[in-house]
Structure 1
């Protein structure tokens, strides 16, 4: 499946992976719908994309507005071929030092918001007997790491839900690709929640030295076009998925010794 000239809706499009995907898909002459909270950032993105772009700003935390957002999105071009669920937030805090409100917020934004939006657009996909969900989860959706307990929980949940979405609606011509990034050069660490719910505001070395967004975007697009069920994109950290499967105890002690933050 080629994405050229398709209608693509991207959440979390104001920066990082979402912004990079918008630029890459614009080169394929896709018609884009871009969403995030910042109208100004989305307007700047639109100016730099040499394709048709519609702006649909909203807050993922507003779970009850998803049907309304879907109706608006469909009205722009009459249909949606691909929904890229990219919006979310990370975490950098120990379990014992994390207020429960932070765990709740991570579940609401990283899991429930994506589920709510996916379910709201599902009737449209079923009616057209076609549609593709590309869900940006994380390697943390496959194995855990200290300081990311709530984030890992939300990302693991995405895998469970969308694996079933694929099983139940393959008969309706609907595809699901779960995309698991490793360390990518974005502001994910700076924007991550700490124990009291505020932002960390500092970067980490692994993220700074990670894969660039343009390279990641091309790899993700290729995986979507190949209709892969699941893909791991990054550096050596992607080996953690294989090690977790066959040597979980080794991975446990390796991650602890690595002293990640």
Structure 2
């Protein structure tokens, strides 16, 4: 039997409890028949349900990639969607729960809605794009772990909650909206670009990494100081890569931004870039 062009799962009704959707990945389902997909089990509270009990299962016939999985409906009670994704495309038409794209390594996740806490947590590669808002600890770290986001790209069209980029080690986060308190707290490396306002204690404990403020200028804490290094070449490359994301990032000025370094209470090698209009 030839592979299907992918599967679409349409939610029948809201489950009574939270559902752990980890392990339901495009590549896994691509090799299955409709009956086999319907028998895939997921945790529902302390019980187990099959996908056939929760979703109407429809084969995609639009010529898309065979490793595509589409989810339709309000999935805000479904956690760990895309956990460990290592290839393929996962599209969600609706809101999602906690831990979207947890520890994903490759592939794409595109959500036409909002996500709860820990979106992109500890991801190591691939792309996550969220049309709405994200909760706390996006691109962050699980309790007890040392490293947050380790690679890939997280794009948030809405706003982000507190602790976005906590312990982030690598990768790129693009926030089109506001960010909550403790943005880039304990950041080790990587790049975060934000177009909206930021909350209190931005860059708290930041050791390295780059923050780009494309919108309102933040309040500068006393543990960050100005530098006068020549960063014209670096800024030219960075602004070009950010312009791809559109919105305020498309109009970043060519003139090198004001540069601050800190957190001097930690390692003191993180940088803030505050673009100035020409």
Output the TM-score relative to the length of structure 2: 0.27
Between structures 1 and 2, the one with greater strand share: 2
Output the TM-score relative to the length of structure 1: 0.28
Between structures 1 and 2, the one with greater helix share: 1
Q: Which has the larger radius of gyration?
A: 2
